[in-house]
Chains A and B, each alone.
Chain A
Amino acid sequence: MNPQLSRRRFIKAVIASSVAAASSSGIHSAIAQDKPRGAVERLISLNVNGQTRRVDVSPQETLAFTLRYKLGLTGTKIGCNRGECGACTVHIDGVTNYSCSTLTHSVRTRAVRTVEGLQAADGSLHPVQQAFIDELSPQCGFCTPGQIMSAVALLEENPRPTREEARHAMSGNLCRCGAYDHYLNGIMRASGQNS
């Protein structure tokens, strides 16, 4: 947990980076623009969901790309690839980050947690996952992993948030189905408060 990095500061940083990303196009907007041909890619160790994973990462590869396409962790979704929607939200040392706007090399010494890392060893669901089922929170489900990661981070920092606090904490995650009400119900249920 990094108390210095408030969500607001984080979002500001992401907005700044997405302005830059918006000027180029496509999936690899944050990936090598001027990668020298034949450059040696680097084999690094990543701590993902408590496991050390060895992975070959190009210099300007995003964490979302590494997680999805090199580690097979496709629960992390790419909705915009420019730091707007939050479908790619993961935890880095317990703090929510847009993995589409995070360079993989920058998290080499840090602990990454994805939606695949939430279930207990016996396979039982995290309380937020169970609450989201009980409240029928997801609709299409594409934004759901990101919503869950934000909700889990919120409850780890503030175990009994008010609905208003939850609404603000979740505001970096978009849902086009408009399931916000049901997601908030899920968070209130997961925190042991009646929705």
Chain B
Amino acid sequence: MSDYKLVGKNFTPPDITGKVTGKAKYAEDFRVDGMVFARMYTSPMAHARVINIDTSAAEAMPGVVGILTAADVPEVEAPNAAILTNTPAYIGDPILAVAAETEQIAEDAMAVIKVEMEPLPFVTDPLDSLLEGGADARVEGNVYSRSREGSGFRTVKWSRQQVEEFRAGKEPTGEFVNEWSYGDISKSMEEAELVIEENFVTTGYAHMSMEPRTAMAYWQNGTCYVHGSAQSQSFWMPGLARLLGIETKDLVLISENTGGGFGSKIGAYPVAALPGWFSKKINRPVQLRVTREQEYYMGSARVGFQGWIRMGFAADGRILGSDVFIIEDIGANATGGDASSAGGAISMVYNAGAMRFRGLPVLTNTTPRGAQRGPGQNQIAAVMAPIMDKAATKLGIDRVDIRKVNSTNNESVVYAERLPVTSAYMDEALSKGAAMFDWDTRRQRPKKNGSKVRGLGIGQGFHSAGATGFDGLVRITPDGKLHIHTGVGNLGTYSYASTSRAAAEVLKCDWDNCEIHRGNTEHNLPWNSYQAGSVTTFTHTRTNYVAAMDALRKMKAIAADTMGGSPEDYDIDGTRIFRMDNPAQGMSYGAIAARAIQLGGEYSGQTFPEDINEITQRSVQNLAGSGLVGVAKDNLPQEGVIPGLAVAFCEIELDLETGKYEILDYVGVAECGTVLFPAGLAQQMKGGAVWGMGMAALERHVYDPQNGLPANIGYHQCGIPTYLDVPSVTRTSAVDIADPQNPFGARGIGEPAMGCSVAALTSAISDALDGHIFGRTPVSPDMIVNHVTGHDQSFLPLQTNNF
């Protein structure tokens, strides 16, 4: 590791100065001449059919420039989200938009628009929809399953008895639609020394990115320019082009800075295309600013779970079998998949000998769901931690040791497909965390002090952390500079920069002599992955590696062509390419770039590999002749699951009288291969910790079941963690063992950083309460007080989205 020049070293990301000076521009900070402002009229009903729209009074208002309705935008088949709809399926579903000279006029125009609607039945809790006679969230059905074999609506109903038995903690006997398994689950339970059954709820909650999903668009010469709040950059292009009904060659996306995404802005979301359609209709630039309140109505949120799990343990703590059943709250637009991912996480993190997953994705008339930091993996992490603790206690095993017995390692095979892992060191992560936390000493300490009781928690997080097949693009110009073109988004992880350094590492360039091109698709960006799913680090160290290796190959070929010998005779030092047997004979990078331009062909991008994506092809064509071009698709070998793993240890002090707790200490350890950017990793681990603390204790959706109204539409109502909800110091570290399937040994970490935290918290709460398992997130103070004082909880078992 130590011979790397850049990998594993801290640096100052080039965009950070703009963030501290206020010069960094986000989507809403751009204004263009003639721009008008759009505001949306959104559904006041949870499920309805629009009968008639009368906009005549609005259109007559001075300053109103135009109206956009569902008739002006492509129709989308339910349950997929449309840009505008006449069949709204949640409160806040956009029905129409008004453009005006000022936002105030647009807002005033809303008051005089008449929308006649026919209300339809609606539901906010999946179990209420499953119950026979319960409402369906869509007229087409109450269940929507997406799968490779085919997606479609179903209507699934359970008998009252089936629902009641599920609420009572029994194995669900109702119909389900998804299933996968491996091993013999029945046999594993028969052979188990200990079988634990629990039901659980994880309530959905909003992403709450600080920047609302503003978008601004205009057209010039047939090209649509969109300023968007995009989590990814290149990856947005095909989806946004599709939403706009154009080809990617006719689209420019500017997204230099994005005020957080956390999964809510991975791909182009429908309202991002609204200004484009509006601008086309009225021939003016249009900005749509989504308000904070609207973010809660029509932004996006984590999928909720209502589930049941049975686990069989051997006497030594090994998990022989895991049998899990999850009802997924997939909102009205059927965006989910979290449940199966949760099953996958059980397979990965707990190395279960046999497994069965059954799932039932149920539609509700609630805010659209989307991937949220560790979608599925982090919900189940919260569920599993107290169960592991319970098993440890019953079997008389230390709580760290039971996790070690089951820890994923290089020999593990995971998922239904029984895939290998690229590498995994969960045991090492647990050892490191336990040592940093001083687990052995702390667990001996007395727990209770008056009404205060201490709890220790251990959590484990996982998300697959890499993808392959994307492109890399670098360029050396005659001034000797290395230009790294990256289509990775910029949502605040700085991984666009840390992965770009992989190219500089290969070409041994000083970082000061490198320039990153990004943030605007006119900057000739390559086809890059989504900036999500913890994939960027693994994926784009690889793409930048292959592009730099392509550049290096061309440099050597040009050197041999110019100075004699064969390419293998040459090496580089970061500024020169030289003959190894006579270092005095060489050329500067600048001279090589100039020679590449003279030679043309593949050297300067006139020709390029056939397998690169059309987006990369166009970028190369634009750059052709400007320097030595390195461009390649990542065809490096890759086999098996690429795990991002993390563990956390925490100590809380819980007040039995108030139900509140303080987090006294938190230690997070990343297991993400080689550390690429230490400060960035620490920041992800700490930010993920805050997210886990929010999910464990604070954040949830609340709906008024009578009207389907979201009851919490503000930051504090929704429980965003503040400075005072989290420890002022969190400690982090990393295992730092290279993964063999990445040229630099690196994997991603963003999501496991949170999963380990929420799990450590649910584990600590359970520990403080003598092993009581709430089986629910968030655990609120009133739940703790009710438990301590022997009162019933204020909700039905398994009830969700409730007060």
Contact = CB atoms under 8 A, between A and B. Distances in A.
A9 interface: no
B690 A178 contact: yes
A32 B260 CA distance: 31
B30 to A, nearest CB: 9
A142 B291 contact: no
B493 A139 contact: yes
A85 B210 contact: yes
Interface string B496-540: 000000000000000000000000000000000000000000000
A157 to B, nearest CB: 17
A26 B39 contact: yes
Interface in B21-39: 21-26, 28-29, 31, 39
Contacts of A28: 103-104, 107
A138 to B, nearest CB: 4
Contact of A170 (B26, B720, B723, B729): B723
B728 A138 contact: no
Contact of B728 (A32, A118, A164): A164
B21 A115 contact: yes
Interface in B667-711: 679-680, 682-683, 686-691
A22 interface: yes
Given A133-B17, A138-B492, A143-B210, A180 B723 contact: yes
Contacts of B25: 74
Contact of B22 (A27, A114, A139): A114
Given A133-B16, A139-B687, A87 B22 contact: no
Contacts of B20: 115, 125, 129, 132-133, 137-138, 144-145, 148
A177 B728 CA distance: 15
B491 interface: yes
A133 B24 CA distance: 14
B258 interface: yes
Contacts of B21: 75, 115-116, 118-119, 125, 129
A125 B22 CA distance: 12
A77 B716 CA distance: 18
Interface in A7-57: 18, 22, 25-28, 31-32
Contact of A140 (B258, B714, B721): B258
Contacts of B13: 136
A182 interface: yes
Interface residues of B, number: 64
A107 interface: no
A177 B715 CA distance: 14
Name, among A133, A135, A142, A170, the residue most crowded by chain B CB atoms within 10 Å (CB to CB). A142
A174 B209 CA distance: 11
Contacts of A132: 20
A28 B722 CA distance: 26
Given A133-B12, A138-B19, A141-B259, A182 B686 contact: yes
Name, among A143, A174, A181, the residue most crowded by chain B CB atoms within 10 Å (CB to CB). A181
Name, among B104, B259, B679, B723, the residue most crowded by chain A CB atoms within 10 Å (CB to CB). B723
A170 B690 CA distance: 16
Contacts of A25: 107, 291, 293
B589 interface: no
Contacts of B714: 18, 22, 80, 82, 84
A167 B724 contact: yes
A171 B722 contact: yes
A112 interface: no
B262 interface: yes
A74 B690 CA distance: 28
A178 B721 contact: yes
B335 to A, nearest CB: 20
A178 B691 contact: yes
A66 interface: no
A63 interface: no
B22 A115 contact: yes
B595 interface: no
Given A143-B210, A163-B729, A170-B723, A176 B262 contact: yes
Given A79-B210, A140-B257, A179-B683, A167 B103 contact: no
Name, among B22, B714, B728, the residue most crowded by chain A CB atoms within 10 Å (CB to CB). B22
Nearest to B753: A178
A95 interface: no
Nearest to B716: A84
13 contacts: A27-B289, A75-B22, A78-B28, A136-B13, A136-B680, A139-B260, A144-B20, A163-B728, A163-B729, A164-B728, A176-B262, A178-B689, A178-B726
Interface of A: 18, 22, 25-28, 31-32, 68-69, 73-82, 84-85, 87, 114-116, 118-119, 125, 129, 132-133, 135-145, 148, 163-164, 166-168, 170-171, 173-182, 184
Q: Which are the 10 A-B pairs with shortest beta-carbon distances?
A: A75-B22, A178-B690, A142-B259, A141-B19, A140-B492, A139-B492, A178-B687, A115-B22, A74-B29, A142-B210
